[in-house]
A and B are shown apart, each in its own frame.
Chain A
Amino acid sequence: MIGIHPVMGTFLQAQSFLDVLYIIAFGLFIQGLRGLSGPTGAVRGNRIAAVGMLIAIIATLLNVNEGNWGLIALGIALGAAVGIPAARQVKMTAMPQMVALFNGLGGGAAALVASLEFQRGAHSLEGITAFIAGSMLFATLIGSLSFSGSIIAYLKLEGKFEKPMTFAGQNILNGLILLVILGLCGWLTFNASSSNATTAFIVMFSLALFFGIAMVMPIGGADMPVVISLLNSFTGLAVAADGFAIHNLAMVVAGTLVGSSGTLLTLLMCKAMNRPVTNVLFGAFGSSGGSAAAATGVAGTVKPIQADEVALLLAYAQRVVVVPGYGMAVAQAQHSVRELTEELGKRGVEVQFAIHPVAGRMPGHMNVLLAEANVPYDQLIEMEAINPSMERVDVCLVIGANDVVNPAAREDKSSPIYGMPIIDADHCKTVIVMKRSMAAGFAGIENHLFYKDNTRMLFGDAKASLNALVAAVKAS
């Protein structure tokens, strides 16, 4: 509306008004995130943050030059037409993929905006300062890497090429690509207006896209939560750098907020798995460890059990603990689990859920699924809280969880997951493992729990098995 050039940061009256609206917006973001610290305030917190976003958008639209409303309306309409149905219809079990995809799109948008601004600045008469050029290049690099990396993470979570893809010298090759990218960025920072700049920029952009793929491909599906969280923080940083380049306060603040919170979340998750973040990213988990674990060999045999026997054990137990894992999500079994626990509750059995911090494909993934199935919040116990009392549990029902109950993490120094905190399912009197087949878990590590004397295996689809259990418990 006002014919100023916002990119140049001209401070007119409208600019300070805009800044006030922006400050209100990120005040609301922070307040919203604070609301997420407890389940009761969380819904409101999220909505507060959404209101903040709306204010930031309206404030920006007030400042947009005239004549391009058509393009803006087209872009927003396209985005809403895709985003709203996708968000409405996605199943709770598929949530991690969805978050990965949304994250990738955000990163892509950041890269596109930054690259256009870079080209414009480079070809303008006055040129751009090295600092601005550097910010735009950073945003392009990190944003495009986040875009392609997130798409791969999405595909991996969808079940496409879940296994880590590795080859000899992979880390060296990736390192070389990264060096070339950084070299190009360094050169472009100071030679943005050079005649070769556009070519160099396109090469850098493509390499960054490729690097995102190359970085995520070797990482196993089980580590995708960490990857998504990391890429989330990358996108945040890219947005902040974009904000720097075009002098947009709101983008700087919101991007940095996301960047730092994503980094912290990544570190928390790695801590829960007792692995440094470098190990997750460059360790190619499972590929080297798998053979080592197999070589040690596991003593004992696998003892299968039938559903009606399990039902008897459950029906006459005093205390039952359910350990859910990703398998429960895949089988969509959360509702059947709730039905079973209700049925047991009616018989006076004390039922609790033991939640490992990285169970599922996202931290808190199990909580979301069980909440969806109306399992009361107070039945969900975190790992540290439940482990000391596991000896007094009669039956532990492991549903589609694998690595998070693998005692190798405590016992076997050669295991790749040695040192990771686990739920001590093997300490219970009887452990029932519900599993589709004897195939090794995502990480490809042999699970010592399956061979323990007190463990019985209930093979089959988790949902079908649970429904059989419900029927059998009702009948007994």
Chain B
Amino acid sequence: MILASVLTTNLAILVLAGFVGFIVISKVPNTLHTPLMSGTNAIHGIVLLGGLLVVGLSGNSAFNKVILVIAIAFGTINIVGGFLVTDRMLEMFKSKPKPKAGAGEGKDGGGKGETGGES
């Protein structure tokens, strides 16, 4: 039965995605937990897709349409707001125009462009 195999596939994906989430997040330092929270917050705005798909189905009453527009608006706020806010926060962690004279380690100098594996 096709439906059942789709479900088991989705379940397998769910379990794997769960583990990936755990592993990726366990590497994020405390410092970046606020941006992390708002970043993942933006990602669950993907619920917008649900609104987009359902609004395309036939047989939506006027009431349903209003609800769906609200859902799409909420999802959009979640996405654009989440990513913009995260971006603003992270911009502040980037290297400053003039690193302090005394402490100029250059470790957070933008030139590296790599994840600067410090805690």
**A interface residues (Cβ-Cβ under 8 A, vs B):** 5-7, 9, 11, 26, 29-30, 32-47, 49-50, 53, 56-57, 60-61, 63-68, 71-72, 74-76, 78-80, 82-84, 86-88, 90, 92, 95-96, 98-99, 102-103, 105-106, 108-110, 112-114, 116-117, 120, 129, 131, 228-229, 232, 235-236, 238-240, 242-244, 246-262, 264-265, 268-269, 272, 345, 355, 357, 362-365, 367-368, 371-372, 374, 376-380, 382
Could you tell me the distance in whole angstroms from the C-beta of B54 to the nearest C-beta in chain A?
A: 6
Contact with A along B35-66 (1 / 0, CB 8 A): 11111111111111111111111111000110
Complex CA distance for A268 and B50, rounded to whole angstroms? 31
From A105, A371, A382, B74 is in contact (CB under 8 Å) with: A105
Complex CA distance for A38 and B84, rounded to whole angstroms? 19
Complex CA distance for A35 and B56, rounded to whole angstroms? 35
Asked whether A374 lies within 8 Å of B105 as measured between CB atoms, the reply is no
Asked whether B50 lies within 8 Å of A262 as measured between CB atoms, the reply is no
Asked whether B21 lies within 8 Å of A264 as measured between CB atoms, the reply is yes
Which residues does chain B contribute within 8 Å of A90, judged by CB atoms? 85
Asked whether B85 lies within 8 Å of A32 as measured between CB atoms, the reply is no
Could you tell me the distance in whole angstroms from the C-beta of A358 to the nearest C-beta in chain B?
A: 9
Complex CA distance for A112 and B68, rounded to whole angstroms? 7
Q: Tell me the nearest residue of chain B to A342, going by C-beta.
A: B100
Complex CA distance for A47 and B110, rounded to whole angstroms? 16
For this complex, 25 residue pairs linking A to B, each with C-beta atoms less than 8 Å apart, are A30-B24, A33-B24, A33-B36, A33-B40, A40-B94, A40-B112, A43-B90, A53-B45, A56-B46, A71-B72, A79-B79, A80-B76, A83-B80, A99-B85, A105-B78, A116-B67, A117-B54, A239-B46, A251-B49, A254-B44, A261-B22, A261-B40, A345-B102, A364-B34, A376-B96
Complex CA distance for A5 and B56, rounded to whole angstroms? 9
Complex CA distance for A260 and B22, rounded to whole angstroms? 6
Asked whether A39 lies within 8 Å of B34 as measured between CB atoms, the reply is no
Contact with A along B1-30 (1 / 0, CB 8 A): 011001100100110011111101111111
Complex CA distance for A173 and B25, rounded to whole angstroms? 35
Asked whether B35 lies within 8 Å of A236 as measured between CB atoms, the reply is no
Which residues does chain A contribute within 8 Å of B30, judged by CB atoms? 272, 355, 357, 363-364, 367, 382
**B interface residues, how many (CB within 8 angstroms):** 98
Could you tell me the distance in whole angstroms from the C-beta of B41 to the nearest C-beta in chain A?
A: 5
Asked whether B43 lies within 8 Å of A49 as measured between CB atoms, the reply is yes
Complex CA distance for A106 and B38, rounded to whole angstroms? 12
Which residues does chain A contribute within 8 Å of B37, judged by CB atoms? 99, 228-229, 232, 262, 265, 362-363
Complex CA distance for A228 and B93, rounded to whole angstroms? 23
Complex CA distance for A272 and B18, rounded to whole angstroms? 23
Which residues does chain A contribute within 8 Å of B48, judged by CB atoms? 57, 109
A39 and B93 in contact (CB under 8 A), knowing A112-B67, A259-B21? yes
9 additional contacts (CB under 8 A) given A112-B67, A116-B64: A40-B108, A43-B94, A53-B79, A112-B51, A232-B40, A240-B14, A242-B47, A363-B30, A376-B96
Q: Tell me the nearest residue of chain A to B91, going by C-beta.
A: A43
Complex CA distance for A322 and B43, rounded to whole angstroms? 35
Asked whether B69 lies within 8 Å of A61 as measured between CB atoms, the reply is no
A102 and B34 in contact (CB under 8 A), knowing A39-B94, A79-B80, A244-B10? no
A75 and B119 in contact (CB under 8 A), knowing A84-B81, A262-B40? no
Asked whether A46 lies within 8 Å of B69 as measured between CB atoms, the reply is no
Asked whether A256 lies within 8 Å of B52 as measured between CB atoms, the reply is no
Asked whether B33 lies within 8 Å of A38 as measured between CB atoms, the reply is no
Complex CA distance for A116 and B42, rounded to whole angstroms? 23
Which residues does chain B contribute within 8 Å of A268, judged by CB atoms? 33
Asked whether B35 lies within 8 Å of A40 as measured between CB atoms, the reply is no
Asked whether A40 lies within 8 Å of B103 as measured between CB atoms, the reply is no
Complex CA distance for A67 and B115, rounded to whole angstroms? 46
A363 and B74 in contact (CB under 8 A), knowing A36-B39, A102-B85? no
